[in-house]
Structure 1
Amino acid sequence: MTAMTFTDIPVSEVDLSDTGFRITEPCHDIEHLKSSISQYGIMVPPLVLCGQDKYIVVSGFRRIEGARHVGLSRITCRVMPAGENLDAAMAAVTENSFSRELTPAELIRATVLLLRFMDAHSIVKNATAIFNMPLNAGYINTLARIHAMPDTVLDLLDQGQISIKACKHLVSMEADTLAGFLHLFSKIKASLGIQMEIIAWAKEICALEKISLSRLIRESPLGITNGDEIGQGGSCFGHRDMGALGKQFKAFLAQRRFPALTAAKNKAREHIKDLELDSGLQLAVPENFEGIVYAMHMEFKNMDEFKTRLNRLAELADLNDFKSLVDR
């Protein structure tokens, strides 16, 4: 790594508009940082690279921005000599990756930054020293392909609304289909597992029914299009809970993709409702009805409640509704 010097430089000579080495998400909420700088100064000097007439930020964008906001005219920085771009890129990644775990979007930005100055093999060889974890060439190439997708992808990754694993399944899709999925995930929130189910089921439905993804989404209860219009479902997102919307859309896909299974699950729910179980008893059917093991969860506060629950369980064994549910 190139030697660096500690230098007191004018804040006005630092070019914050040059974000070539930035891997973190731009953050406009720096109130706490401003307060800290006002009281204690900048504890860790930012790292900058000498430019032709300005200093280029390598690490410490928020610290320098905070210094400007509180009115500091000069700031002590660690300064790297001009032209040391490879060392600057490695420093930008290392300073973040060894202070905390990189977010998925930061990992992608960091990888693409390094690929400007070194090949994938060199990154693999030095990954543990730069990223604080091992990487393989295939994964590095995948991250680069994700970075080449529309900018919306990094925004969704920053917001935690899509995962790298989901992006890997979207990266080779046609432009219209990709745009449809990205718009969808910008409006809903779902766990990794649900994201993968949504992608798989939506693709299968579109292939089986020979329809476009935009039409499928338009026909869903969400009723959205790429233009965020109100669709056939007669509703739009508005301020509705994004997590609930994700579950709602998944349920729509499940019913569309597996109508018989969905009908059976709904029928089972009605059977369980008809049993009028005590509040301390909860019956769970096998997931997707693929197994044969049922689960009965029982809660009780004392011995009397325990005996009451056992008596209720004994009564269930003689009910035809319970027998028809179990012996399906």
Structure 2
Amino acid sequence: MPGVEVVATAITHLLAKDALVRNHAVRLADGAVAVLLPMLLVGLLAWRRNTVGLVAIAAVAAIWSTVNVAAFAHGVWLSAALPIAAAAPPTILFGAVQIWMGRRRAQHLADRSDLLQQFQAPRLHAWLTEDPDFLLQPVHQDAAIVFIDLSGFTAHSETAGPNATRELLSDFQRIVDREVEACGGLITSFMGDGAMILFGLPQASADDAVNAVNCCLGLSARTHAWLASLPPQVGSRIGFKIGAHFGAIVASRLGGSHQHVTAIGDTVNVASRMMDVAKSHGAEIALTDDLLRKAGPNSPVQTSGVLNGPEDVQVRGRTGSINVWLWRRGAPTQ
């Protein structure tokens, strides 16, 4: 019978004087281990939640198991169940809380990242994430600059009211944002009812000029369709003009604690003046000869409308003249 075997084994140990020791001191040791082991495991888990922490926890568990087995081999009966029962619940609970807090923090950072993308172009935001020092020092390079501006918007806003003006401006800015993103550009700023767009950041490309031309045509088509969809009393009062140029710029961050990326230089000034040229010549788009030559002979501007030029134009604020091409909607000339 099992009971007889247990009693016989106990009698044998007593006669041989090799029975297991399970006295008051051993129980005190078990109690100390039951208190210290959970504290040590939780402390290691709080110290390192990565591979280093897990290796340290595994090492502590291995050391405790080795000591327990060695004590048993020498006739000392240390409890295994008590320390496990004491250490497992707080360690598992603490680990679960840490995982939950880590996921909450990750979600918070993801939400912040999504929020920042609403204020920075996705390509620029991704670039700044990889290189936080990007443009801390000014960068000199060639780039294409595009400006678009609504004409007649200020006069319309005088009578439309602030809410209607805001909705109209928001619709226009969404159009610009979608077209610029589709063409691979970067909106450096929305200036009232206009926008400045840069092709060449965060990294210059051989296609910057042709992408800028495509963007000009896309902006013209989208804005024209949007104005046509407005009520006649609104759409008839508003027009638009687009200007673009290619040349040397200086890209950098401007501002103090709140910085933004921008570009400066004569190229930017010329591109801005091209809007005045387009307006004065009754065109939708004014492109410099420098931009079209850089875009190449296969630029879609040659076949998508009426392109006239180049015209030698005197630009306000500059001593020399500039060769300009003027584009307007219509059947392309043969």
> Given the two structures, how large is their TM-score scaled by the length of structure 2?
0.24
- Structure with bigger gyration radius: 2
Per residue, is there more strand in 1 or in 2?
Answer: 2
Q: Which has the higher contact order (CA 8 A, sep 6+)?
A: 2
